[in-house]
Amino acid sequence: MELFLAGRRVLVTGAGKGIGRGTVQALHATGARVVAVSRTQADLDSLVRECPGIEPVCVDLGDWEATERALGSVGPVDLLVNNAAVALLQPFLEVTKEAFDRSFEVNLRAVIQVSQIVARGLIARGVPGAIVNVSSQCSQRAVTNHSVYLVMTSMGQATWSDPHKAKTMLNRIPLGKFAEVEHVVNAILFLLSDRSGMTTGSTLPVEGGFWAC
């Protein structure tokens, strides 16, 4: 199915690893013009080698002022993928102020800030656009030690590397497997494209039936 993303300028946060990196690679393959945002320069350097022509921006989105400086003059953006996140896993009774603040700075506040920057540009230009926010299954279902945060990224592999822990979770997923990066990337591309033109303010689960259990 043609998604008609060629030539459109897309900003992707959390582009260095996992879902964000997979999204950049897929968008680059469609001919989209990608602004890749990551806090890790080495990840951006390797991504530029893989996807020549993308625009790398290195910034810690948890820093409001640095983000404003880095993205405030990024130029016209047609589509946005808010994907950057941290996962600081602690039991509920042991969640620290530092973990809470860091999680909300990156996982929530940065989403608002970057969305404001892009939305202002779209409104000023008088053009339509799309914003896709990537979240976690833990936003809808309780998972042990995920009070302030399940896809099989490198982060997910670290979390679910214990076979016993993984089996407990897999038993709750009707399809019997964790989502892979490409499953989420495919959903993101659909939501960015005009094919989803009548989809708005919606949650699209990519979770193998986990929410139904």
**Residues whose CB is less than 8 angstroms from the CB of residue 201 and which lie 6 or more positions away in sequence, other chains included:** none
Q: What is the DSSP letter of 175?
A: T
- Residue whose tokens read 């939305």: 119
Instruction: Determine the Cα angle at 195 with ends 77 and 173, to 5°.
Output: 100
- Residue whose tokens read 């260095």: 16
Which among 133, 103, 135, 101 has a CA at the least distance from the CA of 118?
133
CA distance 149 to 85: 9
CA distance 51 to 104: 31
Among all residues, which ones are annotated catalytic? Answer: 149
DSSP conformation letters of 64-99: HHHHHHHHTT----SEEEE-------B-GGG--HHH
Task: Tell me the C-alpha to C-alpha distance, in Å, between residue 158 and each of 103, 152, 163, 171, 202.
Answer: 18, 9, 11, 19, 29
- Please, are residues 18 and 153 in contact by the beta-carbon 8 Å criterion? yes
